[in-house]
Chains A and B, each alone.
Chain A
Amino acid sequence: EAQVTQNPRYLITVTGKKLTVTCSQNMNHEYMSWYRQDPGLGLRQIYYSMNVEVTDKGDVPEGYKVSRKEKRNFPLILESPSPNQTSLYFCASSATSSGELFFGEGSRLTVL
């Protein structure tokens, strides 16, 4: 089954404790991206990647890092989480630059 898998789905952590949210897709898509979704603000792009070892900032990259060492994986790293990073995070992939976005099930992160 074609899918985008995120882990963990739910996480409560404390300020400053580094964490990684993993994202993996099995559709051989070149394009992958991370979004955060907050009430009233909609989805906002954090980082995106157009291919292995090619990543770039989206609209809200501060406090986040990513890497793309393999085509299928695109982890999101929070080096020192802060409470304003409490949000619902989505990873997405697409086959082309204008193609349909396939989203993961989301990762709800709470930073205390």
Chain B
Amino acid sequence: KNQVEQSPQSLIILEGKNCTLQCNYTVSPFSNLRWYKQDTGRGPVSLTIMTFSENTKSNGRYTATLDADTKQSSLHITASQLSDSASYICVVKGALGGYQKVTFGTGTKLQVIP
């Protein structure tokens, strides 16, 4: 069964500090992996997409990494801001099965405090 596991479940950090969120998946064969940010009470918004051939991709203060061999991804947030407080969801798309084969992680809830 395809699974996506994220850790930690929740995290509290001080403003200005860095943090790293983890995503492990068993989806195979793999197509792509996206990180979404979900503010409280809002819909998720895509931050980055990682394909099989990509190891690292940055989007401002967000840097995602992918190790397709170990089926692990991480999202690193640099110099955190209060507006980074949100849930971060890892979403993996399989290469088979068409549109419906997207597996969601349960998310990491990040709280940035002053």
Instruction: Give Cα A103–Cα B43 distance, bound, in whole angstroms.
Output: 5
B42/A42 in contact, CB under 8 A: no
- Determine if B32 is an interface residue (Cβ-Cβ < 8 Å): yes
Interface size on A, residues (CB 8 A): 24
Interface size on B, residues (CB 8 A): 22
Q: Give the dominant DSSP class at A's interface.
A: strand
A48/B46 in contact, CB under 8 A: no
- Determine if A76 is an interface residue (Cβ-Cβ < 8 Å): no
Instruction: Give Cα A98–Cα B101 distance, bound, in whole angstroms.
Output: 9
Within the complex, the shortest CB–CB distance from A35 to chain B, in Å, comes to: 8
* Residue with the highest number of chain B CB atoms closer than 10 Å, among A4, A58, A101, A103: A101
| One of B44, B99, B100, B106 near A103 (C-beta < 8 A) | B44
| One of A40, A42, A58, A98 near B93 (C-beta < 8 A) | A98
Given the complex, which residues of A lie within 8 Å of B104, measured CB to CB? Answer: 42-44
Given the complex, which residues of B lie within 8 Å of A33, measured CB to CB? Answer: 99-100
A58/B106 in contact, CB under 8 A: no
0/1 string, A41-56, CB within 8 A of B gives 1? 1111100101000001
- Determine if B31 is an interface residue (Cβ-Cβ < 8 Å): yes
What are 26 sample pairs from A and B whose C-beta atoms fall under 8 A apart? A4-B43, A33-B99, A33-B100, A42-B89, A42-B106, A42-B107, A45-B100, A45-B102, A48-B100, A50-B98, A50-B99, A90-B43, A92-B43, A98-B31, A98-B93, A98-B99, A100-B34, A101-B46, A101-B102, A103-B43, A103-B44, A104-B43, A105-B42, A106-B41, A106-B42, A106-B43
